Structure 1
Amino acid sequence: MDRLFKIHARSHRVIDHIIPPKQDKEKMPTTKEEKELWSTLDAMVLQWIYATISHDLLYTILEPDTTAMEAWNKLRDIFQDNRHSRAVTLEYDFTHVDMADFSNISAYCQHLKSLSDQLKNVGSPVNNNRLVLQLVFGLTEPYNSVVTLISQNDPLPQFYQARSMLTLEEVDLVKKVAHSSSSGMVARYSNGPHDISDHASSHRNNTGRKRNQNRSYNGRKNRSNNGGCGGEKGSIRTSNNRGIGQQPTGQQPPINIPWYGGQPWPWMAPWAP
């Protein structure tokens, strides 16, 4: 981060506000106008510093009437305090980086490079070979072919070259996964129309069977209900049969028909007259 800030300050020609200028080449402001311009530019650089740090650090170094160089030096002391303890912690984090903890190759490489830069800031720089070896060491199994390719190079490629190789391999892996998924879907639904027709036929058969069962059930129910009425009718017919030739209890006597022998017609109910 400090290097980016230095680049930004140098591009605006205010690098001497955070790094002491060399007296033999640079001149300190002498006139009133130069001092006023220097004060204005120094306030601008100080504002940049305050805008790029966390609130905790801001409240730690914030003091009235401070200069950009004083704020810069305080931040340097804070980050370089207990350098050996920081180096131990960063070294542990650097050697235990695993790609499985990151979403993609770019995030994995960025984290490794950030740890390498932090180790350099505390006086424990990491050379290119160690950085590349740690990069391939933390990769997952799908990248084994690239790991072998990078490890067999002598000398080892630069970090940015190894990162580029891994990025291309990641793109190929994504394409293979997408292709295999689409192929599986095509194979699964290749006989789709037949499966659909079979399913529709099975559905119609099941529906027909259910309708037949309902009809059978309703028929049995109706016959059961009509059985009561049929029983009444049966009793009526039985009474009619008993009424032929004899007088049922509580009924009118039959009409005498001379040519029929005085008996009613068989199909006539006793109470018809």
Structure 2
Amino acid sequence: MEANPLRERAFGVTNIKTHILLILHFDDHNYDAWRELFLTHCLAFVVLGHLDGTSLPEDVNDAPWFKRDGLVKLWQYGTLTQPLFHSTFKTGGNERYIWVRIENQFRINKEARAIQLDHDLRTTEIGDRSVHDYCQTLKSISDLLSNLDAFVPDRTLVMYLLNGLNEKFDNITNVIKHKEPFPTFYDAKSMLLNDETRLKRCQKAPATTDNGSSSTVLTVSTEKPQQQRFNRGNRKQNRGRGRGGFNQRSWNNNWNPQWNQQWPLSYFQGHMPQ
């Protein structure tokens, strides 16, 4: 078979990752995007027949065909994660066999993955994320469901968007729900972004209760010192009495007749409490 100049260009691709930017991964649910990129790449280098089975060797000695087939397999292996490579690799299989083997691993659990993604879409909440990040998460899940032939209508996606918001967006949520005609996902996202900006401006506004000239602050600053002076006076009076200060109770309890005989009566008349 005569060599095709366009097909020979495929051997000039030394790094497949510069042409196919996605790495196929189970958890990323990116099989459909990866598949589209890989098919497009093989189409551009005229080796698509090695994937769909339309290109076959003339015989077991068709060295150019086996050489191209090995090249496409290297491309494919170079875009897989290590766990996926181990589950796909098989000695002696041609590219068509490897291609179908990978497809079966992703298609066989198609319904189960769609159910899981639908649950994620229904239960995703904004939490501490920004409106932009929250909307991007919902849109990514919706796109993955579309790749699994489980298309999410735009109106349904808007309802999921509103259901996952917290109470600070209650006002704008009511506006969106009753807007006629019902907004698209991108219109609802734009309204939420504007409301988020408004809320941030309100949070930055200074609080009036922090003003040092408020009546509450003045009341505290004038009453507290008076109370302190009153308490100090009581404490001084109590200390005087506890240490022998003259009062009727201490005088009666401590009077001694013998001690009285040692002093003239005039002394006690001058010091007796009234």
User: TM-score of the superposition, structure 2-length normalised?
Assistant: 0.57
Change over 3 Å in CA distance of 1:148–1:106 after alignment to 2: farther
Residue 200 in structure 1 maps to residue 221 in structure 2: yes
Report the counterpart of residue 145 of structure 2 in structure 1. Answer: 115
Paired positions, count: 215
- Partner AA of 1:137 in structure 2: M
- Partner AA of 2:103 in structure 1: R
Secondary structure of the residue aligned to 1:210 is helix
Once residues 68 and 142 of structure 2 are traced to their aligned partners in structure 1, the CA distance between those partners, rounded to angstroms, is 42
In the alignment, structure 1 segments of 5+ residues that lack a partner are: 243-265, 267-273
Change over 3 Å in CA distance of 1:206–1:117 after alignment to 2: farther
Once residues 23 and 37 of structure 1 are traced to their aligned partners in structure 2, the CA distance between those partners, rounded to angstroms, is 11
Secondary structure of the residue aligned to 2:52 is coil
In the alignment, structure 2 segments of 5+ residues that lack a partner are: 1-29, 128-133, 164-169, 268-274
Aligned runs of 1:175-254 on 2, under 5 Å?
Answer: 175-183=197-205, 186-190=207-211, 193-223=214-244, 231=254, 236-241=259-264
- Partner AA of 2:229 in structure 1: G
Cα distance, 1:136 vs structure 2: 2.5
Cα distance, 1:132 vs structure 2: 0.8
Once residues 114 and 69 of structure 2 are traced to their aligned partners in structure 1, the CA distance between those partners, rounded to angstroms, is 39
Match for residue 73 of structure 1 among 87, 90, 100: 100
For the aligned residue pairs, the C-alpha RMSD in angstroms reads 4.4
CA contact (8 A) 1:61 1:75 kept: yes
Report the counterpart of residue 6 of structure 1 in structure 2. Answer: 35
CA contact (8 A) 2:70 2:95 kept: no
Report the counterpart of residue 73 of structure 2 in structure 1. Answer: 42
CA contact (8 A) 1:95 1:134 kept: no
Report the counterpart of residue 262 of structure 1 in structure 2. Answer: none
Once residues 19 and 207 of structure 1 are traced to their aligned partners in structure 2, the CA distance between those partners, rounded to angstroms, is 91
Aligned runs of 1:59-138 on 2, under 5 Å?
Answer: 59-81=86-108, 86=111, 90=114, 94=118, 97-98=121-122, 101-103=125-127, 104-118=134-148, 120=149, 126=151, 131-138=153-160
Change over 3 Å in CA distance of 1:111–1:206 after alignment to 2: farther
User: TM-score of the superposition, structure 1-length normalised?
Assistant: 0.57
Secondary structure of the residue aligned to 1:49 is coil
Change over 3 Å in CA distance of 1:145–1:179 after alignment to 2: same
Greater relative CO, 1 or 2 (CA 8 Å, sep 6+)? 2
Change over 3 Å in CA distance of 1:78–1:8 after alignment to 2: closer
Change over 3 Å in CA distance of 1:70–1:116 after alignment to 2: same
Larger-gyration structure (1/2): 1
Identity of aligned residues (%): 7
